[in-house]
Chains A and B, each alone.
Chain A
Amino acid sequence: MNKTIKVARFEYLHHVGKKRFWITLISAPLGMVVLILVTTLITFMTIDKSPIGFIDQAGLITQVKDPNYKPGFLDIEIEMVPYTDEATARADVENKTLQAFFIIPAGYESTYQVEYYANKMPSSDITEEVISFLSRNLRLGDNIPNLERIQAGSQISLRSLDGSQQSDGTGWHRIVVPILIGLIYFVLVMSSGGYLLQSLVEEKQNRTMEIMITSVTPNQLMVGKTIGNISVGLTQIGFWALVAAIALFIMRNRIPFLNDLNLSAGYVILSLGMMILSFIVNAGIMATIGATMTTVEEGQSITGLIVVPMMLPFYFMQAFFTNPNGTLPKVLSYIPVSAPLSMSLRMAFTNIPAWEIILVYAILIISAVLVLWLSGKAFSLGMLEYSKRIRIRDLFRKEVSNG
């Protein structure tokens, strides 16, 4: 087996064998599930599930209960109770038999207004229940073609004149997908990049480095470590993606808007390409830090500085919504570490000329080459510096003192 692969294999198994890896791996989806469950449970428990009365002066309600409705786990079902006079309904609200009542006045079909009486503001779930109850009865007996499509509203597709760019209407994925790309990128950098940094500094800290470089070449060591640690990050993301796919498969019938997720191949390829190049830049920065620092603690404190520019598009999200071709979104697109999220957001909201995409790719490629060169230099200078931190300016000198 090639020595690079041996190093990569050891690095991978070394990190995957640690408790920390498994805690991170399981805690993220588990935390998400617990959060959703707790939120749903709290909502379920705090919602007033007592019946709501209604007085139908318009003669609209012909079906109080939907015969096709099958309540699922933690679904809220509010019983609707017909009343003939307002005084009785009001008395039942006072004695808390009802949580509220509403009157459907005569002429509702032209005004679409009801009067809702309660002692407290209805929650959004209650409002939705009432609206759904009214809509269902309003549609009963009518045969309207494409009713659901009409309710979903119109969709506008934007296309550039030369046909090279297009953007699909107002789909929810325009916001969610770039944010998802940003989060995946963030996790990849923080896990794989973090492991790479930790691994390099640890090897110096525990003095294994000198044995290593008399067994493998510095290149084999660096490439092996990078492959091993990227694989750790990809394992994490792969596992989470699998959990998410299973969750989506189970939930797809309950969350209909998931069916809207329809991404263009060009968008995905361009975004992934930028993410990979930017990750190489980040890995190079992490390796440079790892090679120049003498303790893991020092390295971790510096890592925080990388996170800030990476997260900038999240902080300035509003600027991307309002003016995706504005100065700030453009500047953030040209910074290698914030480029993947910035460009994904901009591509989702507007048309970006081909020259700008080429420019961003060029910046990323040049940065990746530069940072990898710098990390190689830092590694060869700093690998045996056990007590002295290498300064940035030292990297541009021929060699530093061996202490």
Chain B
Amino acid sequence: METIIVKNIAKSFGKTEAVKDVSFKVSPGIIFGLLGPNGSGKTTSIRILLDIYQPDRGTVEILGGPMDEGKLNKIGYLPEERGLYQDVEVNRCLTYLATLKGMSKEQIAQRLPVWLERFDLTAHQKKKNKELSKGMQQKAQLIAALIHEPEIIIIDEPFSALDPVNTQLVKDLLIELRNQGKTIVMCTHQMNQVEMLCDRLVLIDHGQVLLEGSLEEVRERFASNQILIQSDNPLPQEIAGVESIVKEGLHYRLTPSGNLTAHDLLRELVRQGINLNTFQVAVPSLDEIFIQVVKEGRNDHEQND
């Protein structure tokens, strides 16, 4: 059963259509990537999801029904525009935010030290938030989003201010939470993180869904018949059954013609005595898919306008 069901939501602000038609479903125990370029409608969609904005059209179901006050306590949110009370101590600020999520003093006293320790903030808990570095503040906000053990976690650019060590810490944490059966919605522009973490994704632009599916489905959909090879010897000008050979840095991109399979091509290359270091089917990166889909979407959008 899905924990989040977004059906055909739309939202306009004056004459600006921030979200035209967005639908997606998220199940528990997965990390769901909500992707899109700047101004695509991601933040508005999340705010509709969180009941901050009312949609003009469409519906949102959270944990089997519309949002209510009780469900707010089951959601952990790390917004893109983040910040904490600047002149309040880390400890006091996190305690306050945790009480607003329905936690008792005893629960906070039990869990907060564990989280502070995990994020290496124990020594800084008495400091005011404004005395912390940007990365530390982000970690404190992550604690605020997670301390009440929410069922749904919505995080916007969770790695933006973190160094590689803390990035890894957060990645491990997200995987751990996914394995615990939490529903995680992650917005990010870092496609390498999406490739590593997300099970499913939706790509939106101009307030519309351009692409949706599991990571494998998306990759398969955009996979070409091209082959990437790396060789110690230069390749011959022509290879039987190969339409084009293009050198790209250290490797060659080969486009087979007709029904030539990767297996046939490999056999042909070996037959010709070409010394191969690597031979791989060219699967486009998520970055490439993202750019391609957004470009195509924008062309369609301009034509429709």
Q: Which residues of A contact B (CB under 8 A)?
A: 1, 3, 6-7, 10, 14, 18, 202, 206-208, 210-217, 384, 386, 397, 399-402
> Are A3 and B100 neighbours in the complex by a CB distance under 8 Å?
yes
CA distance A214 to B69 in the complex (A): 9
Cβ contact of A215, chosen from B16, B85, B86, B101, cutoff 8 A: B101
Complex: how many Å from CA A215 to CA B78?
A: 12
**Are B77 and A401 in touch, CB under 8 angstroms?**
no
Among B16, B84, B100, the residue within 8 A (CB) of A216 is: B100
Known: A215-B101, A384-B47, A384-B52. Is A208-B16 also a contact (CB below 8 A)?
Answer: no
Contacts of B40 in A (CB 8 A): none
Asked if B85 and A400 sit within 8 Å, CB to CB, the answer is no
Give the residues from 69 to 106 in chain B that come closer than 8 angstroms, CB to CB, to chain A. Answer: 69, 72-73, 75, 77, 79, 81-88, 96-97, 99-101
- Residues on the B chain within 8 Å of A217, using CB: 69
* Contact residue among A202, A206, A214 (Cβ-Cβ distance under 8 Å from B72): A214
A206 engages B100 (CB within 8 Å): no
Contact for B81 among A207, A212, A215, CB less than 8 A: A207
Say how far A8's CB is from chain B's closest CB, in angstroms: 12
How far, in Å, is A206 (CB) from chain B's closest CB? 4
- Report which residue of A1, A208, A212, A217 has the largest number of chain B beta carbons within 10 angstroms of its beta carbon: A208
Interface membership of B44, Cβ < 8 A: yes
In the complex formed, the residue of A with least CB distance to B67 is A214
Given A206-B85, A213-B52, A215-B72, CB of A401 within 8 Å of CB of B13: yes
- Bound CA–CA A207/B84 (angstroms): 7
Q: From known contacts A14-B88, A210-B79, infer whether A215 and B97 are also in contact, taking CB-CB under 8 Å.
A: yes
Q: Does B286 contact A (CB under 8 A)?
A: no
Question: Across the two chains, which residue of chain B brings its CB closest to A383?
Answer: B52
Which residue of B has the minimal Cβ distance to A213?
Answer: B52
Indicate if the CB atoms of B14 and A210 lie closer than 8 Å.
no
CA A14 to CA B128, docked complex, whole Å: 13
B85 surroundings in chain A (CB, below 8 A):
14, 202, 206, 208
Q: How far is the CA of A267 from the CA of B14 in the complex (A)?
A: 50
Residue in A1, A7, A211, A384 whose beta carbon sits within 8 Å of that of B144 in the complex = A211
Residue contact B101 to A208, C-beta cutoff 8 Å: no
Contact among A7, A213, A397 with B14 in the assembled complex (CB-CB below 8 Å): A397
Tell me whether A400 and B13 are in contact (CB under 8 A): yes
Q: Is there an interface contact between A6 and B72, defined as CB atoms closer than 8 Å?
A: no
> Does B161 have its Cβ within 8 Å of any Cβ on chain A?
no
The distance in angstroms between the C-alpha atoms of A98 and B252, with both chains bound, is 118
List CB contacts (< 8 Å) of B6-21 with chain A.
13-14, 16, 18
Q: How far is the CA of A18 from the CA of B97 in the complex (A)?
A: 20
Min distance, Cβ B154 to any Cβ of chain A, angstroms: 9
| B83–A6 touching, CB < 8 Å | no
| B63: Cβ under 8 A from any A Cβ | no
Judged by a CB distance under 8 angstroms, whether B175 is at the interface is no
User: Which residue of the partner chain B has the closest CB to A6?
Assistant: B99
Chain A residue nearest to B50 (CB atoms) is A214
Of all chain A residues, the one with the shortest Cβ separation from B80 is: A210
User: Does the CB pair B101–A402 fall under 8 Å?
Assistant: no
Residue among A214, A397, A399 with the most chain B CB within 10 A?
Answer: A214
| Smallest CB separation, A205 vs chain B (Å) | 8
Please, what's the 1-or-0 string for B250-280, where 1 marks a CB less than 8 Å from any CB in chain A?
A: 0000000000000000000000000000000
A400 and B50 contact, CB distance less than 8 A: no
Contact of A401 among B14, B43, B52, B144 (CB under 8 A): B14
Determine the chain B residues whose CB is within 8 A of the CB of A399 once the complex forms: 13-14
CA distance A214 to B47 in the complex (A): 9
How close is B122's CB to chain A, nearest CB, in angstroms? 22
| Inter-chain contacts of A402 with B (CB < 8 A) | 13, 18, 43-44, 47, 53
Complex: chain A residue closest to B99, CB-CB? A6
Q: A214-B52, A214-B77 are known contacts. Are A10 and B96 too (CB-CB below 8 A)? A: yes
Chain A residues within an 8 Å CB radius of B88: 14
Can you pick out 6 interface pairs between chain A and chain B where the beta carbons lie within 8 Å of each other?
A: A206-B86, A207-B82, A211-B77, A214-B72, A215-B73, A401-B14
Contact, CB under 8 Å: B84 / A206:
yes
A6-B99, A399-B13 given; 5 more Cβ-contact pairs under 8 Å: A10-B96, A206-B86, A211-B97, A214-B79, A384-B47
Chain A residues within 8 Å of B75, by CB: 214
**Which residues of chain B in 130-183 are interfacial with respect to chain A, using CB atoms and an 8 Å cutoff?**
141, 144
Please, how many angstroms separate the alpha-carbon atoms of A180 and B131 in the complex? 43
- Please name the 6 residue pairs, one residue from A and one from B, whose CB atoms are nearest each other, closest first: A207-B83, A215-B100, A210-B79, A206-B83, A401-B13, A214-B77
Nearest CB in chain A: distance from B12 CB, A: 8
Known pairs A400-B13, A402-B18; A208 contacts B72 (CB<8 A) = no
Contacting residue for A208 out of B18, B69, B84, CB 8 A: B84
Shortest CB–CB separation between residue A374 and chain B, in angstroms?
19
Measured CA separation A215–B14 after assembly (Å): 27
A18 to B88, CA, bound (A): 10
Q: How far is the CA of A212 from the CA of B82 in the complex (A)?
A: 11
Name A398's closest neighbour in chain B (CB-CB): B14
Name, among A207, A210, A401, the residue most crowded by chain B CB atoms within 10 Å (CB to CB): A210
Q: How far is the CA of A3 from the CA of B82 in the complex (A)?
A: 22
Give bound CA distance, A216 to B50, whole Å: 12
Q: B39-62 toward A: CB 8 Å interface, digit per residue (1/0)?
A: 000011001001011000000000
For the complex, give the distance between the alpha carbons of A217 and B13 in Å.
21
A212 to B14, CA, bound (A): 26
Distance of A400 from chain B, by nearest CB (Å): 6
A206: nearest residue on chain B (CB-CB)?
A: B83
Complex CA–CA separation, A311 to B16 (angstroms): 43
Contact A400 B14 (CB under 8 A): yes
Determine the residue in chain A with the shortest Cβ distance to B69: A217
Give the distance in Å from the alpha carbon of A214 to the alpha carbon of B77 in the complex.
8
Q: Which of B194-249 contact A (CB under 8 A)?
A: none
Q: Which chain B residue has the least Cβ–Cβ distance from A387?
A: B81
Residues of B within 8 A of A386 (CB): 81
- What CA separation (Å) do A206 and B140 show in the bound complex? 14
B144 — nearest CB in chain A belongs to which residue?
A: A211
Contact B81 A210 (CB under 8 A): yes
Residues in B whose Cβ lies below 8 Å from that of A214: 50, 52, 72, 75, 77, 79
Which chain A positions have C-beta within 8 A of B83? 206-208
Enumerate chain A residues within 8 angstroms of B13, measured Cβ to Cβ: 399-402
Please name all residues of chain A whose beta carbon is closer than 8 Å to the beta carbon of B18 when the two chains form the complex. 402
Give the chain A neighbours of B81 by CB distance below 8 A: 207, 210, 384, 386
